[in-house]
Chains A and B, each alone.
Chain A
Amino acid sequence: MRSASLFALLVALPVGMAAGCGGAAPQSGITAWLRVSNGQYEPGALSIDPGMMEPTVDTITTHNNHVFPGATGRSITGSVNGKAVAVMIGLDGDSGHWLVPVGVPDFDITGNFTFAASVSYSPDLPIGTRKLQFRGIDVDGNLGPIQSLALSVGITSPQGNLVVQLDWDTEADLDLHLRIDPPDPAAKPIDVWNRAPLALPPAPNGGTYSQMDTKAAGRLQFDSNANCVIDGQRHEEVVFPMAVPPGTYEVRVDTFSLCGEATARWHVAAFTNPAGTPTLIQEAFGQSQDRDTLAAHDATSGVLAFSFTQP
């Protein structure tokens, strides 16, 4: 009885191991720079060996070959030789590549099949130019020649004469508050926050500002995770596209709610970026705790990160 059990174990072990060796890679591919939502991830860079003459990738179509780190839902379509059963897509220098099955027959190129991929780029994708590579693969596993698509990877820092930007790491509701204290002691300070997103003093005589005025004024672009409606942005910024009012600027971070998170680590920075080349003025880091949510959450609430003066 005992020897029979041992025998069964000795038989079952290699069988199980063999079964474990087959199948698709278990990794999700989230660590790769390129992610394909309808593809199967394969660890390892896409092979660049010459391969066979077929199956070929004949056309590649994309709406925009300028991408930014973190870009999502970018559509890439194409046409592949009729022998292909799938298309391998990879980014040069990446840790893995993706396998996308071919789709319906291509009515534009007789005998070909179409393929379509919805791709995203990691927020960690380095800035610069990169090649998006494609290879067809047939039913026997033969790889066709490489086709490449050049991508330009750039940053999307907001441009303006003054930018104050807050970003944080968990799905909490943090708010950027900015107070501008004009040099004129008689003038009232201007508070820029989610309930008064424009960096303009109250219009004189109870009037309203024109669209031109509001477009030229500094403004809070977005209230992220407002009221714990999670949008995943986790950053807010006040951008002054044109003139920057003189005065002392106080930058605060108000923890409206941690939204169930244990903590939120944040980074706030002020920089000038009139032409796409940011110049840092000042920055600070911090961590919001449960206690920080107890404040009144008005214009001057929040911890003072730093202050600076604009002439």
Chain B
Amino acid sequence: MYTEHASFRRATLGAGGHKGRRSFVAGLVTAGWVASGAAAWAQEGAPPAKAGGADAAQAQKDSKDSKASEPVTPTLGPPTPGPSETEKELVEAQKKAIDAQKALEATQADLKASLEALAAELGAEREQRAEEVVALQEKLAKAQAALKKPPVSTAQPGVALTGYVQADWRIWGQSSEDQINPSTLAPVNEERFMIRRARLKTTIDREYVAGALEFDGNTVNGTTARIVNAEASFKLPGEEGSPVPLLMASIGLFKIPFGFELLQSDRDRVFLERSTAEQALFPGEYDLGARLSGGWRFVRYAVAVMNGDPLGEKAYPGRDPNAAKDIVGRLGVETPIVDTVSVAAGFSGLTGKGFHRGTPATKSVIQWSDRNEDGIFTSDEIAAVPGSAATPSQNFSRFAWGADLNLQVTIPDIGVATAYGELYYAKNLDRAKVVADPLGPLGRDARELGFYVAGLFEFQKIATVGVRYDTYNPDRDSTNPTKPLIPTDLSYGTLSVVAVVGTPMARLQLEYDHNTNHSGRDLMGRPANLKDDTLIVRGQVAF
């Protein structure tokens, strides 16, 4: 029996190979061996009922062994005296030993079956693990290959490459017409496909140094490629986990730190364009200068010294015709109120000098005008106009104040609701819409006022709907009777409704804009609203 257990144990060990399993099997075998040994001991070691001593016990044992090993044959003849008590006990013990033997064999069979099942299970597990190892090796090989040849290589660590494309289809433009502007020869039609923005940005963000370089391509006025953001920064990191540095000093071309929507990323903004007031006061959003910015806990700040000629300005975009610089900044807070509500708010200000362009000198000229339309020159049909000296360029003061508020409420399992708005109050700052110049023919300051309010609801980060109303008055004094401006009401207004499917990484936007203005003419030639509603669909993909 021991030999049988030993051979089984060897077989198990040979088939195994895993140390744990081997120990387990060895344990089972040992337990089986101990159990069988105990049974054998119970069979062999049962004490004699009446033992006279060690010799008697030995004799009794020898006798039992010999009898147990010999078959019992019935004998004929005179009845023999019945078995003695000792013999009866021996028979009884023998029966018990046989029963114990059978029980032991049964136990052995069970153990064997269990071991075989265990072996089968271990084999299956081994095969599964082998397959997993192969799969992991394949993944490792792929990862190593990817590390050997990264998609974009950089000279320094901490470099990121991002970008996005915004492709528009202006489905409907009420003021579009299949004509050209006779003055500029530019097409009047705006119902077209257009790449509104195609941005590629590289940033580096290390512990004490940061930088950005961004290029923009678009087809707004034909194919254009230009630089929009290039800045070098030195910074002091903020507290652990803070999204902004404690202090960052930057120089270069960056967004003017004024208000909320101006600094909001074009990629994240749900509405296709910024409000009219922003487009008039800060056209192009980017300007050249130096900036200090940062934050501490919930406080956010930025102050910059800038040229004052943003990239979208009509007169000198990206240049600076005067030595005076604009000083602009924002101070605000950004913090959650409770778990589901957060608020961001701030005040902004700007002060600087605008530029009134001088005019060159002219020469004296004469002009013939065929007044009586007879095609013949007569002396009274000429006009002589003397030349004029050049007029010098001059600077004028301008400023702006702004306030912004953004409230965001997270509704669990449904989405996020956002309400926000902004107010602009400025003097002589319009640089794109109705360009302010108090030193021009008007001869007085232009006081601008604009605001917008907007609401957004984002469903499960999949779909967003929003509505925004903005208005802008480039000259609040246009009704001044001593300096009447034509038209007397210069306000622009836009009501925008937008629906978005997707996230900023990939989304489809549909926006309807109802625009009011004063670009049309009534029957008398007076300024009137020009119908200019638009319907635009935009596809955006970012990486």
Contacts and interface: CB of A to CB of B under 8 A. Distances in A.
Interface in B382-397: 383, 385-393
B434 interface: yes
A62 interface: no
B372 A231 contact: no
Nearest to A217: B371
Contact of B371 (A198, A260, A304): A198
Given A222-B367, A291-B519, A285 B362 contact: no
A38 interface: no
B530 A123 contact: no
A97 interface: no
Interface in A245-272: 250, 252-253, 255-260, 262-263, 265-267
B505 interface: no
Interface residues of B, number: 53
Contacts of A253: 486
Interface string A19-34: 0000000000011000
Contact of A291 (B372, B374, B435, B530): B530
A196 B372 CA distance: 8
A306 B373 CA distance: 29
Contact of B435 (A72, A234, A256, A287): A287
A122 interface: yes
Interface in B339-392: 357-365, 367, 369, 371-374, 378, 380, 383, 385-392
B243 interface: no
A173 B388 CA distance: 17
B359 A232 contact: yes
A30 B441 contact: no
Interface stretch (B66-74, B179-187, B273-281): B179-187
A293 B184 contact: yes
B442 interface: yes
Contacts, number: 159
B486 A284 contact: yes
B383 A263 contact: no
A214 B383 CA distance: 14
Interface centre among A121, A209, A255, A303 (most CB of B within 10 A): A303
Contacts of A72: 361-364, 386-389
A215 B530 CA distance: 42
Interface string B424-444: 000000000011010011100
A233 B441 contact: no
Contacts of B364: 72-73
A305 interface: yes
B372 A285 contact: no
Contacts of B390: 30, 35, 120
Given A120-B361, A214-B380, A265 B386 contact: no
B502 interface: no
Interface centre among B393, B440, B484 (most CB of A within 10 A): B440
A232 B378 contact: no
Nearest to B439: A169
Given A71-B389, A214-B371, A266 B441 contact: yes
A291 B175 CA distance: 10
Interface centre among A70, A211, A256, A301 (most CB of B within 10 A): A70
Interface string B388-424: 1111110000000000000000000000000000000
Nearest to A230: B362
A295 B442 CA distance: 24
A167 B435 CA distance: 17
A302 B526 CA distance: 9
A234 B361 CA distance: 12
Given A231-B362, A289-B519, A297-B182, 16 more contacts: A72-B363, A73-B363, A120-B361, A214-B371, A214-B380, A221-B383, A231-B365, A232-B388, A233-B365, A255-B183, A256-B183, A258-B183, A265-B441, A283-B484, A285-B486, A301-B525
5 contacts: A208-B374, A219-B371, A232-B360, A258-B183, A284-B485
Interface of B: 179, 181-184, 188, 314-315, 357-365, 367, 369, 371-374, 378, 380, 383, 385-393, 434-435, 437, 440-442, 483-487, 519, 521, 524-527, 530
Interface of A: 30-31, 35, 70-73, 120-124, 167-171, 194, 196-198, 208-209, 211, 214-215, 219-224, 226, 231-234, 250, 252-253, 255-260, 262-263, 265-267, 283-287, 289-295, 297, 300-306
